[in-house]
Amino acid sequence: MDPTDAAFRVLTAMITPAVLISACGTLAFSTGTRLSRVVDRVRGLAAGIEKAAEGAEGPFGRGLVLDQLEQLSRRVLLLRSAMTGFYVAIGLFVLTSLAVGVVALTRAPLGWVPVATGLLGSVALLHGSLLLVREARLAVASTLEEMSAVRSAVERSRAGTGP
């Protein structure tokens, strides 16, 4: 085999995981943004509870706030696990690139190592993605529940029955 062709194959094999590293990085960044939004929402609910403790109870009962906090807790845990999955995947894809280079340099019969680390990285990426799907479903359910409570509060307000 031509040395240039061999070098090209090795570099191609080393760069291929970089695309997946980039995808994981994008997912990790967006997951961090989602996590920040959940934290902001928890802080908003905490501020609402403080106001309610001071006697300025809003149109939503404490039951809704407690339900929201429970759902936010589950979302935070899912986001944390998804983020962990993406970081593990990034590490495994970097390891895959390194393993390709080491196997090519040493000509060791360890071609299965980069394949195994690449597969494990793909599993970690899939796991993180599935966790994000679950978190998104929780977010939608929570939003629908909150919208229903707002709708009920508006209807009570129109009817003059108060909160």
Tens digit of each residue's pLDDT (9 = 90 or more) over 8-27 = 777 777 788 888 898 999 99
In tens, the pLDDT along 140-160 reads 998 898 888 888 878 887 887
Is residue 59 scored above 60 in pLDDT? no
* pTM to 2 decimal places: 0.80
List Cβ neighbours of 21 (8 Å cut-off, separation of 6 or more).
90, 93, 94
pLDDT for residue 75: 93
Is residue 63 scored above 80 in pLDDT? no
81 confidence band (pLDDT: 50, 70, 90) = very high
CB 72 within 8 A of CB 98: no
3-class SS at 57? coil
* Range 76-87 average pLDDT: 96
Here the tokens at position 116 are: 């195994």
Helix axes 112-159, 3-53, angle to 10 degrees: 30
1-5, 38-42, 105-109: which has the minimum mean pLDDT?
A: 1-5
Cα-only R_g, the chain: 24
pLDDT for residue 161: 61
pLDDT for residue 129: 96
Domain count, the chain: 1
Single-letter amino acid, residue 29: F
Cα 113 to Cα 127: distance, rounded to the nearest angstrom: 21
Task: Measure CA of the first residue to CA of the last residue in the chain; give whole Å.
Answer: 80
In tens, the pLDDT along 85-121 reads 999 999 999 999 999 989 988 888 988 999 999 999 9
Cα 97 to Cα 55: distance, rounded to the nearest angstrom: 60
Which domain does 72 fall in, by range? Answer: 3-160
Here the tokens at position 133 are: 């799907």
Task: Please give the C-alpha separations between residue 34 and each of 85, 87, 122, 140, in angstroms, as whole numbers.
Answer: 15, 16, 22, 13
Closest CA to 133 of 61, 85, 70: 85
Task: Write down the number of H helices and E strands in the chain.
Answer: 3, 0
pLDDT for residue 138: 94
